[in-house]
Amino acid sequence: MIDWGAIFSNAAVELISPTTAAYALAALGLAVHFGYTGLLNFGQAGFMALGAYGYAISTLTFGFPVWASVLVGIGASVVFALILGIPTLRLRADYLAIVTIAAAEIVRLLFTTNTFQPVTGSANGLSGYKGGFADLNPIPAGTYGFGPFEYNAYDWWLRIVAWTIVILACLFTWQIMRSPWGRVIKGIREDEDAVRALGKNVYAYKMQSLILGGVFGTIAGMIFVLPRAVVPSNYQTSLTFFVYAILLLGGAATILGPVIGSMIFWVLLSFFSGFIARAVEAGWLPFMSSIQAGQLRFILVGVAIMLIVIYRPQGIFGNKKELAFVK
Amino acid sequence: MSNNTVPTAKPVKTVGMHIGEAVPGCKKKDPILVVDGVSRTFGGLKAVDVEHLEIPRGAITALIGPNGAGKTTLFNLLTGFDKPDTGSWTFEGTSIGGMAAFKVARMGQVRTFQLTKALGLLTVMDNMLLGAKAQVGENLFRAVLPFLWRQQEAHNKVKALDLLARFKLDTKKDDYAASLSGGQRKLLEMARALMSDPTLVMLDEPMAGVNPALTQSLLDHILNLKAEGMSVLFVEHDMHMVRHIADWVIVMAEGKVVAEGDPHEVMRNQAVIDAYLGQHHDEDLGEDPDAGQQNVGAIKELLDDEL
Amino acid sequence: MLSLGLLLTAVTFSTLGAGAAHADEINTDQYDYVLSGNVQFDGEPIEDVLISVDGSGYEAEVVTDADGKWRIGVPEKETYTVALDEDTLPKGVVVAKGGSEIEAEFGLTKVKSVNFFLGEGERTTVSFFDQFVNRFVNGLNFGLLLALAAIGMSLIFGTTGLSNFAHAEMITFGALATLTLSVTMGLPIWIAIVVAIVLSGALGYGLDAAIWKPLRKKGVGLIPLMIVSIGLSLALRYIFQLFYGGGTSQLPGSGMADLKFGPISLSPIDLWSMGISVVVLLAVSYFLLRTRIGKATRAVSDNPSLASASGIDVDGVIRIVWIVGGALAGLSGVLWAYFRPGVSWDMGFQILLLVFAATTLGGLGTAFGALVGSIIVGLFVELSTLWLPSDLKYVGALVVLILVLLLRPQGILGRKERIG
Ligand SMILES: Nc1ncnc2c1ncn2[C@@H]1O[C@H](COP(=O)(O)OP(=O)(O)O)[C@@H](O)[C@H]1O
Ligand SMILES: [Mg+2]
């Protein structure tokens, strides 16, 4: 018989999981890029990888403290944004898409290759870098919480830090988007030549946006690896597509969209996989193996992306009039 | 393009701006923009090839010529939106050839576009505010601290409202620009350009597609600019309007300046009539299917004037 | 309940990332049969030696751990070729006897140990020039098959403005259809390929009719369209995996022995592949340059509104472009299946970026530019292995893409666009 309780509680757990927070922050970065500035960054996975590896390598290879490791990751992503932006931000929007996707793949391949195995761990990835972060934990050891939300001190610490960062990033983005800076950024999304004709250095603004959203992605990458290991195959192009799915679900030019989008995405995905897996076990879907059941979710995400873009381009939270798409 | 759009009140014309004969490239007493040897080719086609050109200060100059003459391309070059193959030019005595478009705009030489570029998903007010110069809050770090820019923002809003009122757009200030009519968008684009207190305003076909009821006020606005001390360079097809408001007319054909002069004199110039008659009808069809039609109209108007 | 949260996220992720490889063990928990070994020299374990297994349509790679040990799980009780990559051995160490490739057959147990005999010595290497020529010809072959896909993508981009991510799945589809028709249904391979190409053309037509045409009519913008194609790509890719599984299968005739032409070693299939590519590319050029529909296609690419104003049936042209693009992608998929070699659910996605790179290099939307771009990408990928480790070979091509954009943003054969 199907254990509905377990399915629901597993799904509920995703609501505040660090993974959900990481995806929310990465999607917020994309909102800055795509939703507000109209930059088609398809390399968010690369920014996330730089965060994850920047943090892990600084800690493991160089023995840096937490704050320095975080700064290294952020510094790496700023450099990455500059390398991406300098050649492409003067070009048509679709060039940026192709270059960012290519650059993210380059990053992933460089982390995967055996050539740098001693530092990157090649296909194995890295682990054992969590000590510094755990040492900062002020929560006394023990188990806290209720129902499905019962965690030990480290897990709570991780969730509190992750969501605090997400909230701060949301507040920051909300503030700058309602400032004159945000007005220029949105103007660029609508028509960059018009904004240029008004005396704004469009190139510099696009670069700032690329860096800002990229740094969000990088921090998201760090949050993402704190509950698990750094594994290079996690940073494939599909990761970027998942983040886009979340962004579109919530609404591209919104602040809360990425957050709620991420929650809905993970809760539904967990619910769906939990249900299918158990249904297969219970013999409800005799034609399907449990591996196949795992693939269904990708199909579902793909179809969902298509349907949202076609039928609800503004996402759940987007303003009906402000379709939030660059033309 | 009909007679009823021609205003009855005669605007005051500025005269005697040139030195010597009114020939193509003639010197002006007080030029604001001086162009030298500017050329631009597109795969074999010489779209712009201007030897020397001076735009007078404090006057309204019309740039006319058949479709495909290179007027928009010249605008693009002079405002830094395109790079010339050769040539240099000065604005207010400063050489600005090759300068980035945004810097040109900051120097006080602003433009509008032939195909209107209203920022559709911004409100009319935001469109206007975007035009204001030297905004403190446009810096990312200061943007986070509203107290630094709130006062300037309020000041800009007052100015924007004032301009919007003059362009009869104040009631629309909270609407998305996308909801405006084509003519209103042209007005908005012009008003937005004025937010930066420019010295030279370059308008690419400001009347095209504007409802005849609005053309009158557009004309008045252009005349106002001059009254406020700005110089205006505009591209226009409607000869009646050109004659009515322009102090000086520059005629381009096939990339070259073929004639210059007082609006009434220049129309009699044989080179001008040739330019319009010699128009290749197959050019630019994609962009403007009734280009040929327009030119025929222009010539009719030219001839009307002769009578 | 305590550790459930962590556990669940961990599980979620191991299924999301496409199977992370462990250095010393791969697929051992997935399959019952295991090949294993221990790489040592003079009693000392050697770390980081690359061991690969190939056979019965299955491929896997593993790197030895600090104890010199490795284990690879294999799906069936079959004969596998186990190879040790001599390049990953320390300097001065080579495989002494028995060769660096060993045929491994399972006995009574489910675990088979395979060991290589290492000794001191220097490897004799092929001269640089010979390697270069060989890589060059391989690169040409690869570039030609990329060109088939890239031209289709470029035509579609030119006529509709769509950057079609689902082109990857059109490539995969050709290979999968050939696999089903030949291996499962037993058709002769030639017939299977022809039918698969026809089906690929039909897929192109179907996608246009079912998705893209309605969206064009609805006036959906280009960027939303591109995102729809991303969603479509994701969905199709995993639908393929649902039906064909995650493994690799071989088409009939792949793995034919190489023929030697001086320094160049090519299999008959490679020769066929290049020959077919050249003929088809010539046919496509003829179509574009000489036929009425081809000229109409270029006219639509140049300026759709002008084309439709001059009486060209733009929708008809786009329909044909999708059919041609689909068929070309399908053929490219078949050739890619022989080049890799192997058919798998994500094979098209593996080269999607290279196809994009080729299209962009040549200048977005110019068909002949795509051809030139593909050859450059193909050559670059293969030649770069002379200097770069082979697991970095795509990096070179992608770096070149970025550099070209920096120096010549309109692509090699592309034109600038107009403002104002
Ligand atoms: N980016 C471009 N690429 C190719 N040809 C162009 C481009 N921009 C303008 N042209 C050509 O240059 C000529 C001048 O165009 P334009 O300046 O738009 O003329 P006008 O504004 O006087 O009607 C035309 O023949 C036009 O087709
Ligand atoms: Mg023009």
Beta-carbon separation of B121 and A183 below 8 A: no
Task: Tell me which of A179, A208, A209, A212 to substitute to probe the interface with B (most B C-beta atoms closer than 10 Å).
Answer: A179
| A247 contacts A260 by C-beta, under 8 angstroms | no
**Any CB–CB contact under 8 A between C15 and chain B?**
no
Closest-CA residue of A relative to B146 is: A179
For chain A, positions 198-257, list CB contacts with chain C under 8 A.
227-228, 231-234, 236-238, 241, 244-245, 248
Contact status, residue A187 vs residue A200, Cβ threshold 8 Å: yes
Residue B91 host element (H or E): strand B86-91
Question: A38: which 2 tokens?
Answer: 């109209």
Contact status, residue C26 vs residue A123, Cβ threshold 8 Å? no
Kindly report the CATH number assigned to the domain that includes residue A13: 1.10.3470
Backbone angles phi, psi at B34, to 5 degrees: -125, 120
Percent of chain B beyond pLDDT 90?
36
In A, which residues are within 8 Å of C6 by CB distance? 155, 227
Contact call for residues C129 and C334 (beta carbons, < 8 A) = no
Among A48, A20, A16, A21, residue whose Cα is nearest residue A219: A48
- How many Å apart are CA B259 and CA B252, to the nearest integer? 7
Q: Which atom of ligand 1 lies nearest, measured to the CA of B288?
A: 23
Axis-axis angle for helices A237-250, C222-244 (nearest 10):
120
Residue nearest to atom 16 of ligand 1 (CA): B70
CA distance A187 to chain B (A): 6
Q: Say if residues C251 and C334 touch (Cβ distance below 8 Å).
A: yes
Of C4, C21, C398, the CB nearest to A102: C398
Residue B79 beta carbon below 6 angstroms from any ligand 1 atom: no
Question: Residue B257 belongs to what H/E stretch?
Answer: strand B256-261
A205, A210, A212, A213 alpha-carbon torsion, rounded to 10° = 130
C374: which 2 tokens?
């593909």
Rounded to a whole number, what is the distance in Å from the CA of B106 to chain A's nearest CA? 5
Cα-to-centroid distance, B255 and ligand 1 (Å)? 9
Instruction: Please answer whether residues A316 and A257 qualify as being in contact, where contact means their C-beta atoms are separated by less than 8 angstroms.
Output: yes
- Nearest C-alpha of chain A: how many angstroms from C412? 14
- Tell me how far apart the alpha carbons of residues C354 and C72 are, in angstroms, rounded to a whole number: 30
Query: ipTM greater than 0.90, yes or no?
Result: no
The per-residue pLDDT for B28 is 82
Ligand 2 centre to CA of B288 (Å) is: 10
Our answer on whether the CB atom of B69 is closer than 6 Å to any ligand 1 atom is yes
Test the C interface: residue of B71, B74, B82 with most C CBs within 10 Å: B82
Taking residues A260-281, what's their average pLDDT?
Answer: 86
Task: Kindly report the nearest CA distance between residue A76 and chain C, in angstroms.
Answer: 18
| Consecutive H or E run containing C44 | strand C44-45
pLDDT for residue B166: 87
- Are B144 and A182 an interchain contact pair (Cβ–Cβ within 8 Å)? no
* Domains of chain C, first to last: 2-8+19-120 (2.60.40.10), 128-407 (1.10.3470)
Q: Please report which confidence band the pLDDT of residue A319 belongs to, taking 50, 70 and 90 as the band edges.
A: low
- Cβ atoms of residues C362 and C370 within 8 Å: yes
- Neighbouring residues of the ion ligand 2, judged by CB less than 5 Å: B 72, 114
Is B189 part of the contact surface with chain C (CB cutoff 8 Å)?
A: no
Instruction: Give B133-165 pLDDT, tens digit per residue.
Output: 889 999 999 999 999 999 999 999 999 999 999
| Burial class, A155, CB count within 10 angstroms (exposed 0-12 / middle 13-18 / buried 19+) | buried
Residue C318: which region, alpha, beta or left (left: phi > 0; alpha: psi -120 to 50)? alpha
Distance B189 CA to ligand 2 centre (A): 17
Residue A167 contacts by C-beta under 8 Å, 6 or more apart in sequence? none
B75 CA closest ligand 1 atom index = 17
| C101: phi then psi, degrees, rounded to nearest 5 | -125, 135
Whole-number Å distance between alpha carbons of B44 and A101? 36
Q: What's chain A's average pLDDT?
A: 88
Using CA atoms, how far residue B277 sits from B65, B303, C23, in Å, is: 11, 12, 78
- DSSP symbol at C181: I
In chain C, which residue's Cα lies nearest the Cα of A299? C235
Who contacts A295 (Cβ-Cβ below 8 Å, separation ≥6)?
A: C238, C241, C242
Q: Which residues of chain B neighbour C299 with C-beta distances below 8 Å?
A: none
Average pLDDT value over all residues in chain B: 82
Element (H, E) at B148: helix B146-166
Hey, what amino acid is at B120? G
Q: How many CB atoms lie within 10 A of CB A93?
A: 19
Check if the beta carbon of residue B26 is closer than 8 Å to that of residue B61: no
pLDDT digits (tens, 9 = 90+) for B28-75: 888 899 999 999 988 778 889 999 999 999 899 999 888 888 899 999
Please check the confidence at residue B281 and state whether its pLDDT lies above 60: no
CA–CA separation, B131 and B114 (whole Å): 18
- Is-contact C355 C163, C-beta < 8 A? no
B286 pLDDT tier (thresholds 50, 70, 90): very low
pLDDT of residue A194: 93
| Burial degree of B88 (CB within 10 A; 0-12, 13-18, 19+) | middle
Pocket test for ligand 1, best of C415, C416, C418, C419 (most atoms within 8 A of CB): C418
B130:A175 CB<8 A: no
B113 touches C: beta carbon within 8 Å: yes
> Ligand 1 atom 12: the closest Cα is on which residue?
B47
The whole-number pLDDT of residue B164 equals: 93
**What residues does each domain of chain B span?**
31-118+198-306, 120-179
Locate the ligand 1 atom nearest the alpha carbon of residue C420 and give its number: 18
**With an 8 Å Cβ cutoff, are C306 and B286 in contact?**
yes
Q: Residue C221 is nearest to which of A294, A302, A327, comparing CB atoms?
A: A327
- Exposed, middle or buried: residue B93 (CB in 10 Å: 0-12, 13-18, 19+)? exposed
Which pLDDT value is given to residue B285? 37
CB contact under 8 A, B76 and C415: no
Give the pLDDT band of residue B288 (cuts 50, 70, 90). very low
β-strands B231-235, B200-204: how paired?
parallel
Is residue B294's pLDDT more than 70?
Answer: no
pLDDT at C379: 92
Please report which confidence band the pLDDT of residue A185 belongs to, taking 50, 70 and 90 as the band edges. Answer: very high
pLDDT at B287 over 50: no
Distance B238 CA to ligand 2 centre (A): 14
Distance of CA A266 to the CA centre of its chain: 12
Give the CA-trace dihedral at A7, A12, A15, A19, to 10 degrees.
-40
Q: How many residues does chain A have?
A: 327
pLDDT band, very low/low/confident/very high, at B274 (cuts 50, 70, 90): confident
Contact B263, B238 (CB under 8 A): no
Facing residues of B231 across strands?
B200
CA of B68 to the centre of ligand 2 (A): 7
8 A C-beta contact, residue C348 and residue C169 = yes
The reported pLDDT for the residue numbered C144 is 95
Cα–Cα distance for residue pair C78/C176, rounded to 1 Å:
23
CA distance A90 to A96: 9
The chains found to touch A (3+ Cβ pairs under 8 angstroms) are B, C
Question: Domain B31-118+198-306 adopts which CATH fold?
Answer: Rossmann fold (3.40.50)
Q: Residue B247 is encoded by which pair of tokens?
A: 């102090």
Give the C-alpha separation, A36 to A254, whole Å. 8
- Ligand 1 contact, B305 CB (< 6 A): no
Q: What is the 3-state secondary structure (H, E, C) of chain A?
A: CCCHHHHHHHHHHHHHCHHHHHHHHHHHHHHHHHHHHCCCCCCHHHHHHHHHHHHHHHHHCCCCCHHHHHHHHHHHHHHHHHHHHHHHCCCCHHHHHHHHHHHHHHHHHHHHCHHHHHHHCHHHCECCCCHHHHHCCCCCCCEEEECCEEEEHHHHHHHHHHHHHHHHHHHHHHHHHCCHHHHHHHHHHHCHHHHHHCCCCHHHHHHHHHHHHHHHHHHHHHHHHCCCCECHHHHCHHHHHHHHHHHHHHCCCCCHHHHHHHHHHHHHHHHHHHHHHHHHHCCCCCCCCHHHHHHHHHHHHHHHHHHHHHHCCCCCCCCCCCCCCCC
Q: Which domain holds residue A148?
A: 4-326
Q: Show residues of chain B in contact with A176, CB under 8 Å.
A: 140, 143-144
Q: From the CA of A157, how many Å to the nearest CA of chain B?
A: 28
| CB C418 less than 6 A from any atom of ligand 1 | yes
Q: How many domains does chain A have?
A: 1
**Side-chain half-sphere CA neighbours of A63 within 13 A:** 0
Mean pLDDT in residue range A295-314 = 84
Partnered with residue B233 across adjacent β-strands are B61, B202
* pLDDT: which is higher, B16 or C325: C325
The whole-angstrom separation of Cα B163 and Cα B170 is 8
Please report the pLDDT score of residue C312 as a whole number. 84
pLDDT digits 0-9 by tens, B295-306: 555 555 555 544
Query: For testing the chain C interface, which of B71, B112, B287 should be mutated: the one with the most C CBs within 10 Å?
Result: B287
- The Cα–Cα gap between C180 and C252 comes to 11
Of B102, B113, B118, the CB nearest to A200: B102
Residue C341: asked if its preceding bond is cis (omega within 30°), the reply is yes
Nearest CA to ligand 1 atom 26: B68
Instruction: Check residues A198 and C264 and name the one with the higher pLDDT.
Output: A198
**Low-confidence stretches of chain C (pLDDT beneath 50):** 1-22, 418, 420
* Tens of pLDDT, residues A43-94: 999 999 999 999 999 999 999 999 999 999 999 999 999 988 887 887 777 7
Rounded distance between C-alpha atoms, residue A117 and residue A124, angstroms = 9
Would the CA dihedral through C197, C198, C200, C201 be positive or negative? positive
Round to whole Å and give the CA distance between A47 and A235.
9
Two structure tokens written together for C382: 């293969």
Q: Which residues of A touch C23 (CB under 8 A)?
A: 122-124
Q: Kind of pairing, strands C58-63 and C50-55?
A: antiparallel
Query: Which residues of A fall within a CB distance of 8 Å from C354?
Result: none
Give Cα B293 distance to the centre of its chain: 23
Residue C299 pLDDT? 85
Q: What per-residue confidence (pLDDT) applies to C56?
A: 74
Q: Whose CA is nearest to atom 7 of ligand 1?
A: C418
**What subunits touch chain C, counting only 3 or more CB pairs under 8 A?**
A, B
- Looking at the CA of residue B71, tell me the nearest atom of ligand 1: 22
Length of chain B: 307
Sign (positive or negative) of CA dihedral B165, B167, B168, B170: negative
Contact at CB, C405 and A122, closer than 8 angstroms: no
